[in-house]
Structure 1
Amino acid sequence: MQTAAAEAARLPKGFTAPPVPRRNPTRRPDWLVAYLFLAPAAAIFAAFIAYPLADGVMTSFTDQVVGRDGSFIGFANFAKLLSDPHFQRAAVNSLLLTTGVVAVKLVIGLACAVLLAQKMPARGLVRALVFLPWAVPGLIAGLSWKWIFDEQAGVLSYLVLALGITDQPVYWLSDPRIAMLSIGVAMVWHGLPFFTMMFLAALTAIPGDLNEAAAIDGAGPIRRFFAVTLPQMKEVIFVTVMLSAIWTFNSFHMVFILTGGGPAMRTHILPTLAYDYGITQSQLGLGAAVLVSVIPVFFILIVLLTRRMLASNK
């Protein structure tokens, strides 16, 4: 084994080896400091997220009702839901509403972002007006659209009658054939600014020399958009779509305010059906089972979103 003197003899003349840092025995380990900083957030997560989630999962395996403790019944609630036509309809409504609303917001939001990125008079004012619905609380937005869709005093019914489109009132929220479409319109209006803001930020971050080089090569505006702009925005588009899908699938206030799941429970989505079973009908175990049944969907979406966001940060 070479001694320290032999190692020092091999060093160039005039070179002094740096001193070996000595570990301070009183210094806390880095992992301990990290856990100390994470402790408050972990306590809040356990109190307001982990505990309610665990309690909801346990309740879904019981026959608990309001005012009485339930007994363990295993998967009976889930078996009942599988044969429940209202649950089946709510699941289909949730899937169709999420797919349709997110797709419309994606297309219109991308178009709005491209337009707002152009130079125009009063561009700041136009952007503020486009982003305004995102600042409106969900409760206020729902009540506003409930008034717009009102069959008797709503502005939309007045317009279609005044323009001669129809001579009969349109039952926007009472007709099962168009009630879900009306809900989708309100949800698109409220969530569209989020897509526009995300896409506009992504557009402004694209280096201008990429489009200039494509233009020099003879690419037109449409070809530059699909060959240069969209590939540069794919990460932002993916994250925005995934976040919106999670929020839309789990949305409650808009459906609850506009229709309450009616008419005849035709517009229920899974969150409002869980409220109807758990609160209105006092079947807490069955209502909890409705929400627990969608946990795998959210888990898959969150895993995909997290993996993509971590991959984009590498």
Structure 2
Amino acid sequence: MANSKYEYVKSFEQPDLLLPNTWIVIRIDGRGFHKFSDKYAFKKPNDRRALDLMNAAAERVLIELPDVVVAYGISDEYSFVLHRSCTLFERRSSKLVTTIVSMFSAYYVHLWPSFFPYSPLTFPLPGFDGRAVQYPTVQNLRDYMSWRQVDCHINNLYNTTFWTLIQQGGMDAKAAEAELAGTLAADKNEILFSRFGMNYNNEPDIYKKGSIVFRDYELVEATTSSPALNEEALTAPEIALSKTQAEKERKARQKAKVVVQHVDFIKDDFWEQRPWILSNRPGKIKREP
């Protein structure tokens, strides 16, 4: 681009590079989704169509951005994890956040008719905001993921009990809130079981555990020496791959199927059996049955 007297304005753009060798989480949240869910009559406490739509949009983000190693979603939020070795957009925070937010939003709108065929979107359209958070260690990252899954369980147990009191118990919102004030998890389970014959443990896992999205390879045998638990190995300086090796790994990632599962990943087993998520090295491609 030719120089001009106006080019000085470039100096106003400040660098926003994220720290190297840290895990990056891009967390997105729906904007005004309480009103949005009411507008399209989402089922309470959970609308499976809405959750499946969120998951479908997240899948597309992982397919298009191989730098995203895993993602986790609950309700109207999704967390996308970039490996500590990620160099996408030179680790510029604004570029990473806006790319993932805009891509997710675009797919959410594009895929909407597949999940809500009889409710065409009208203005105001759905939107999402986002932020970038850095975590220096694998344990920090796993604790973040665990926090979100625990939050999923706590919120879903409350919402399930709250809406059951309203829909089946005939209470209004204020009465239901008062009924649940100060209750523990055991109290809510007892309300559901003793009054409505509902065993919370039988609720679908997608509601209780949320949705984790990742590239799927053959599972490995879980051991205590698994790379998924070896902090030293996972935080050691990255060894630069040759162009041939990098291209081979890129193709391996493209071949891997992106899957959505509703499982407990707080325990070590999930990560031990899927070491490729934290190591960012492709696993063994599953054979078709």
Band of TM-score, shorter chain: under 0.3
Please state which structure has a larger fraction of its residues in strand. 2
TM-score (norm 1): 0.24
Q: Which has the larger radius of gyration?
A: 1
**When you count helix as a share of all residues, which structure comes out higher?**
1
Give the alignment's TM-score, normalised by structure 2. Answer: 0.26
